[in-house]
Amino acid sequence: SYTITWTSDCCLLFVFSSSLLCERIPLMKMSAMQKTLKGKNLMNSFLEEHTYSLSQNSADDQKFSTHPLRKLKDVFYFGNISIGTPPKQFRVLFDTGSSDLWVSSVYCHDPGCGEHRLFNPHESTTFEITDRHMYFCNELGKITGFFGRDIVQIGDLVVMNQTFGLSQRQISRILALVPFEGVLGLGYPSLATPKIIPVFDNLMLQKVISEPVFAFYLNTKKEDGSVVMLGGVDHSYYKGELNWVPVSESRYWQITVDRISMNGKVVGCSSRCQAILDTGTAFVFTPGLLTQQGFAGLTSPFLSQYLISCRVNTTIPPVVFTINGTDYPMRPEDYIVTVRGQPRGRFSNPGLTWILGDAFLRQYFSVFDRGNRRFGLAPAV
């Protein structure tokens, strides 16, 4: 779990709290989830018919949506969706590190719920209740409630009969501070609450989108300008070629990284390692301590963050992630955040896998190809 502090100059302090509300490590989420997907055969045949070739540009396709996202402090990327009849708008985090959809509901009276938009099932003529309980314990906090079903709209894309969570309790210091009231998970179904079909799977099953692919362009500078593309790829958002790597484990968007180096010296992941691509995580998380020799001026981790003296600022080389033979550098300005005047590395501790969050993904256009079970990266425009 994090504690989060907004300082007067809008810098962010992310610290791992030792008094954990729940185990933070996302792999906990993973092991707890069963691999069940209703309509699995249906899904497989859909995917076989629709393996994505990327030959065409999807920009003019009707079963495709480029959906705007807003950035909050380089940490959260969220966008609008609507639920119910008549449609009511909610702001949700588009999160590749989870697979459920949930929003705050009128049954929640915790701090933060009141200031947000709340789903009221009595105001939707298409809402159906289920007997399923909702329970999440993750980086946002501990969220409990129940599941219902309704029509969900993302831009022009309409999903019928989508199961989603309605929160009743939100034990979270973060959710009270942010201008969104839910999460839309884009992970694999095995990461979702058992037997609940995630939004993207319903987009595929209900043939709302033409290709089983989504992609992120996360703007580095402006609050707006970021997008999530659902159902295809608009090639105008990246330069050069997309490089692909197979998804090694289809729960999270997990891939194999060859090595991580600085100045040609390996600083982590010396004999290949696993990494999760997570748009719902701000930084890059390392599974253990980094080897120090690459980081000139790097001190030992303090409160699970690395401290870097301001003076070494200009001399720090990029951290290079090598993925399927291609180098993906992260420049110092992308991995160092200044907190109350003191720069800190954006590499935080523990976990079992690397987690490549927004600090990494922001520099690249990223394609999540469910049809071909692969992940693609290209330099963003």
Active-site positions read 95, 278
Please list, in sequence order, all residues whose beta carbon lies within 8 angstroms of the beta carbon of residue 85, skipping any fewer than 6 positions away: 124, 125, 126, 150, 151
Cβ-contact 190, 250 below 8 angstroms = yes
CB closer to ligand NAG, 144 vs 324: 324
Minimum CB–partner distance for residue 162 and ligand NAG (Å): 8
Which residue ranges make up the site for ligand NAG (CB under 6 A)? 68-70, 79-80, 89, 149, 161, 163, 197, 244-246, 310, 313-314, 324-325, 336, 338, 343, 374
State which amino acid sits at residue 197: I
Task: Choose among 330, 309, 370: nearest CA to 96.
Answer: 370
Q: Which two tokens stand for residue 165?
A: 């969570």
Q: How many Cα atoms within 13 Å fall on the side-chain side of residue 35?
A: 6
CB closer to ligand NAG, 294 vs 343: 343
Please list, in sequence order, all residues whose beta carbon lies within 8 angstroms of the beta carbon of residue 81, skipping any fewer than 6 positions away: 89, 90, 92, 152, 153, 154, 184
Name the residue number minimizing CB distance to ligand NAG: 244
Task: Choose among 179, 193, 84: nearest CA to 137.
Answer: 193
**Residue that has been written with the tokens 């999760």 in this structure:** 276
Task: Choose among 334, 328, 263, 329: nearest CA to 296.
Answer: 263
CB closer to ligand NAG, 69 vs 275: 69
Q: Which two tokens stand for residue 59?
A: 């920009």
Cβ-contact 260, 268 below 8 angstroms = yes
Rg of the chain, C-alpha, whole Å: 20
Q: Residues 91-115, buried b or exposed e (16+ Cβ, 10 A)?
A: bbbbbbbbbbbbbbbebbebebbee
Task: Choose among 253, 162, 240, 155: nearest CA to 213.
Answer: 253
Q: Which two tokens stand for residue 379?
A: 């330099």
The DSSP symbol for 46 reads H
Cβ-contact 289, 333 below 8 angstroms = no
Give the Cα separation of 91 and 146 in Å (integer): 19
